[in-house]
Every structure is written in C-alpha cells, then in structure tokens.
Amino acid sequence: MRFVSFGPRGNERPGVLVNDSSILPLSRVMADIGIAPNGTIRNLLPFLDRVSEGVAAAVDRGDEVIPVAQTRLGPPITDPLNLFNCGANYLSHLVEIGAEATPTLPVVFQKPSSALAGPTDAIVRPLECVNLDYEAELVVVIGKAGRRIPAERAAEHIAGFMITNDVSARDLGEGESRKLNAPALFQLMRTKGWDTFQPTGPWLVTLDEARSYEDIRIQTWVNDELRQDAYAKEMLHSPYKIIEWLSATTTLQPGDIITTGTPGGVAAGMASPKWLMPGDTVRIEMTGLGQMNTPVLDEQGTRAGGRGGSDG
C-alpha cells in the first residue's frame, strides 16, 4: 500500500493511492475496522493487515476516489510522536565535508514536527540564511512499538519507507562554537529545525511493497542538474542498526520517523558550493518510492544584514 495524507495544510485526511493516480479516502475503511474515522495514518500503522482488507473491500464496492492531481499531498505522517534524523551515515558524504575519521556509532538528533512539509510544498529559506542546502534521505517509519529492538528483529517494527529532504542552513550552525572554542555550542537546531526543513512524501510505501532497502537508488536534481546519485546499501549503518541503537535509548512508537543520512553530492561538499536559491526546484527520486518536487522560496521580510548571514 501507498499511504498519503491529502488536503489543506494542517487539515490533511488519510488516504491510500490506487491505480497510481487516484486517492481512496480512508475514513470509511477506518470506521469499518473499528478505528476512529477522524484519525491519521499514524493510527492505522499497527493494523496494516486489516487496513489492506478494508481497502480491497472499498475498491470492490466502488468507493469514490479523488484524482491526485486535484488535491494537495501533505506529509504522509502528519503527526509523528518523534522525528529522528540520522547523520554521518554515508562515507561519500563524510569525505566531501572533510571528516577525518569514520564514526563507528550512529549519530541521531531530533527535529520539531513543525519542520514537516509535503512533497510539493515550498522550502522556505529563513531571513537569516544564505547557505541553504539539500540532503536526500531514505526514511523509515515505525509501525510497531518497541524498546531495545535487536537489529535482526528490526524489520518487524518497520511500517514502510518514504522520501525526505533534510534541509540544512549551513551558515547558521556555528553560533559561538568557534569563537569560544566549544563544540558543544554548535547550533544544530538553527541548522536543521526551521519550518519546512523536512519535506516528506509523496507517499509512505509499506514494507511488503517496498521490500528490501538496499537496492533503493537515491537521486537528487536541482533545476534538472543531477547532484546526488547513490544506493541505500552504501549506508555505514543499516536502518536495522539505527533502530537497534535508537531503541536502546527510547521506546519507538508507531508513526515515528527515522531518517537514515544523506550520500555525497550536497552543496556544502562542492569546491564552489551551489547553495539553494529562491526560484530553484529540488527533485528527489527513490526507487519504488516516487518523487518529490519542492520549490525554494525566500521568507518574506528583510534579510539580516541585507543578505541573510550567520548568527554567530
């Protein structure tokens, strides 16, 4: 199944893609199987077998569908309890940013859910930012809760995969960390946590349809220029290892979003970085998961120093 959330921002409804071009709203299916019809995709994830049966029945009886082209797609998971991001997980990315060693442990941080956006929603460059960057990443969505999940059992807890862009304001992270020679003062939230900095979609593809993650090809274009091209099997830490590592700390819940790092090809790794600019379009495609097309806009207002710029 390919789950979607569709409709106006903040008021999206759950649905499932049928015939590649239409959305079957799921409110009746949810009611039929005993789930509150005003719930979200997150509420469906522990009951995928029943949902699949309900969708088949709805298609058979001819329930009304909505053409994808006639509605907005929001983030498939609109209300995750947790939004976890993994970094430093591809050697090609570590090399391009000048890392002097390869980490042996996953690096995980959190973003606010307000960073979520849909697959065609605009990425908004903050007033303070000049060096805006993209990071295509494969997303794992948790379907079954658990803590201390061993890697060999992690697939049992995965609902499916989807695409994301871990948008980054590269010039806003330093803060006072260099001035005060204190790495702990790095402003990760100012780099990663802005509104619209986590577009996801276009749909959540369940594990039975997506199958293995290893052969998923990750590609990013900016204005039709190919920037990133890699396979998910190139990860240093598999999604299963990330789940094992993360669930040792916290109980994972249905609908939790876990990104898995970006491969090489980001603007920050270029000799002459090609930062995202207003008017650009970022297209990300992944095998079997569809594509996102997100325009870049400037936040309305007066840019800091007339040009954006660093906080520190």
Whether residues 17 and 102 share a domain: the answer is no
In a domain, 76, yes or no: no
Residues in the chain, total: 312
DSSP 128: T
Whether residues 184 and 256 share a domain: the answer is yes
Domain end call among 39, 70, 101: 70
Whether residues 92 and 62 share a domain: the answer is no
Residue 27 sits in which domain range? 2-70
Q: Write down the pTM of the prediction.
A: 0.94
Whether residues 92 and 11 share a domain: the answer is no
CATH of the domain at 209: 3.90.850.10
- pLDDT of 302 reads 77
- pLDDT of 168 reads 98
- pLDDT of 304 reads 66
**Beta carbons of 169 and 131 less than 8 angstroms apart:** yes
Whether residues 16 and 122 share a domain: the answer is no
Domain end call among 70, 95, 127: 70
Whether residues 170 and 302 share a domain: the answer is yes
Distance of alpha carbon 107 from alpha carbon 238, whole angstroms: 12
Distance from first CA to last CA of the chain, Å, rounded?
46
- pLDDT of 308 reads 40
Whether residues 165 and 230 share a domain: the answer is yes
Give every CB contact of residue 257 below 8 A, 6+ residues apart in sequence: 77, 80, 82, 83, 84, 139, 140, 141, 142, 164, 200
- pLDDT of 311 reads 59
Burial label for 49, CB within 10 Å (0-12, 13-18, 19+), is exposed
Whether residues 149 and 95 share a domain: the answer is yes
- pLDDT of 310 reads 46
Number of domains in the chain: 2
Please identify every stretch of the chain with a pLDDT value under 70, giving residue numbers as ranges: 304-312
What are the counts of helices (DSSP H) followed by strands (DSSP E) for the chain? 7, 18
**Beta carbons of 252 and 158 less than 8 angstroms apart:** no
Six-digit token string for 311: 């906080």
Whether residues 235 and 91 share a domain: the answer is yes
Whether residues 161 and 19 share a domain: the answer is no
Whether residues 168 and 282 share a domain: the answer is yes
Distance of alpha carbon 291 from alpha carbon 279, whole angstroms: 19
If DSSP codes are grouped into helix, strand and coil, which group holds residue 268?
Answer: helix
